[in-house]
Amino acid sequence: MPAEKKRNLVEPGRAAEIPSVDRLLNARAFQPLLTQHGRTQVVAELRTHLDSLRHAALAGGPGPTALAADVIAAAVAAKLAQAARLTLRPVFNLTGTVLHTNLGRALLPDEAVRAVAQALTAPVNLEFDLQSGRRGERDGVIEKLLCELTGAEAAMVVNNNAAAVLLMLSVLANRREVLVSRGELIEIGGSFRLPDIMRRAGAKLVEVGTTNRTHLSDYAQALSPRSALLMKVHTSNYAISGFTKSVTLAELVELGRARGVTVAVDLGSGSLVDLTRWQLPREPTVRETVAAGADLVTFSGDKLLGGPQAGLLVGRGELIRKLRKDPLKRALRVSKLTLAALEAVLALYRAPEFLADRLTTLRLLVRSPAQMQAQAARLRPRLQGALGEAYQVADAPMFSQIGSGALPIDQLPSYGLAIRALKGKRGSLERLDAALRALPRPVISRMAEKTLWLDLRCLEACDEAAFDTQLGELRP
């Protein structure tokens, strides 16, 4: 055994030389820790560390240097820093999926961030009518704006679109039938299926048509005195192609009015503007759906709308009022923070000519490949230097996707960095992927075709320096 290692071993009797808690707390090295973390946390972590030293000493472990106050303080400081790190952390989304469900979907614009901060730090008129001085309606914060932007008679908000569908079905179709085309029986993320939501709401699902072809006559023949809703679901997270047929909303509305049955549409992504004006793939808008005669429309707030997580319902006033009075609405209501952010985002839509600059989601979707290509050229040498000879980094064209079920078969031309492990150099893409996630601000990439892809669509210029700086800490 080397002489140095022998010196660092402790005889079992040396366990008694481990300093006491009180002695260490009075040491100079512990004063900054007490100031930053407080006595309670420091003492708890210190006791744990001293116990580990005691066990190690009895087993002939670390020697005198490990018992020094500054060494113990450094070990305790590292543990406290690790414990203080919040679980929910900012990351760099370089997956190529803009509305990434696992990474929080839409990013809020500055206007929404300021509105949330104001709601956090001051009392607000959440349910208080400033004109009458009496209790107000919580949904009133956003109802006028939503009606203006969609053409609906009334509007309300709950905590997500699944909740909006659940509320609608529970109130309007409990113990009654809801007709849905077999080709529209969607499953959303996390294995939540429309039939399951119907079951929980107490509604009876009546499937009409076939997976690939549904005719208006299928709906007409399935209608009965127990039918409560004709429901159309926008298949935003998949596409059926080939020998297909579906019933238009206009046709369904005509049938619903003729037979006195409410027509509801789960629109999903919730686009409020025609995306083709920015050369993006077309998606049906809420206003078009309302204008086509839908009695109720539900959609998400944190997808194409670009706002916070929320489920929005717009449509006929009498139906919205009925939903609002149900006790389930209170269980599904949103906080002042969601309303503050949502109002600020909706207000941006009043000036659609500025949306591509002010709405973060849209700004990311319309970034030009040329911008990202220039960014890749700047970052490639830096990343190659950090990775060394075991990997090859190249500028590369690639394709982004909108994400969160929006326009699933449409891709956006993008640009970024492609990393490959070189044979014989002991490089590992799995190890590199883990190292990127271990950075102070984790980098989330995409792996496919024996390549690690860093799509730069969601790396805006304001974040490029922070990404570049931390590459020096990369340990692949």
Continuous segment of H or E residues that includes residue 233: strand 227-233
| Tokens, residue 27 | 């040491």
Query: Do residues 390 and 425 make contact, with C-beta atoms less than 8 angstroms apart?
Result: yes
CB 222 within 8 A of CB 208: yes
Q: How far is CA 437 from the centre of its chain?
A: 17
pLDDT of amino acid 39: 96
Query: pLDDT averaged over the chain?
Result: 91
Answer whether residue 215 shows pLDDT above 70.
yes
Contact 193, 237 (CB under 8 A): no
DSSP secondary structure of 359-390: -HHHHHHT--HHHHHHHHHHHHHHHHHHHGGG
What is the spatial distance between Cα 289 and Cα 293, in angstroms, rounded to a whole number?
Answer: 7
Angstrom distance (rounded) from CA 7 to CA 5: 5
The whole-model pTM stands at 0.88
Tokens of residue 302, six digits: 């944190």
Give residue-wise pLDDT tens across range 224-267: 999 999 999 987 555 666 667 888 999 999 999 999 999 999 99
| pLDDT for position 426 | 77
Average pLDDT over residues 110-122: 97
If one compares 43 and 60, the residue with the highest pLDDT of the two is 43
Q: Which of 289, 287, 270, 290 is nearest to 404 (CA)?
A: 270
CB neighbour burial string for 283-309, b if at least 16 within 10 angstroms, e if fewer: bbbbbbbbebebbbbbbbbbbbbbbbb
At residue 1, the pLDDT reads 42
Q: Could you identify the residue written with the tokens 């820093």?
A: 81
Please report the pLDDT score of residue 7 as a whole number. 40
Question: How do residues 288-322 score in pLDDT, each as one tens digit?
Answer: 999 999 999 999 999 999 999 999 999 999 999 99
Give how far Cα 29 sits from Cα of 54, 178, 434, 449, Å.
20, 69, 34, 51
What's phi and psi for 316, nearest 5 deg?
Answer: -65, 140
Contact 359, 348 (CB under 8 A): yes
Which residues are registered as beta bridge partners of 451?
448
CA–CA dist 72, 74 (Å, integer): 5
* Contact between residue 157 and residue 163 where contact means Cβ atoms under 8 Å apart: no
What is the chain's alpha carbon radius of gyration, rounded to the nearest angstrom?
29
pLDDT band at 205 (very low <50, low <70, confident <90, very high): very high
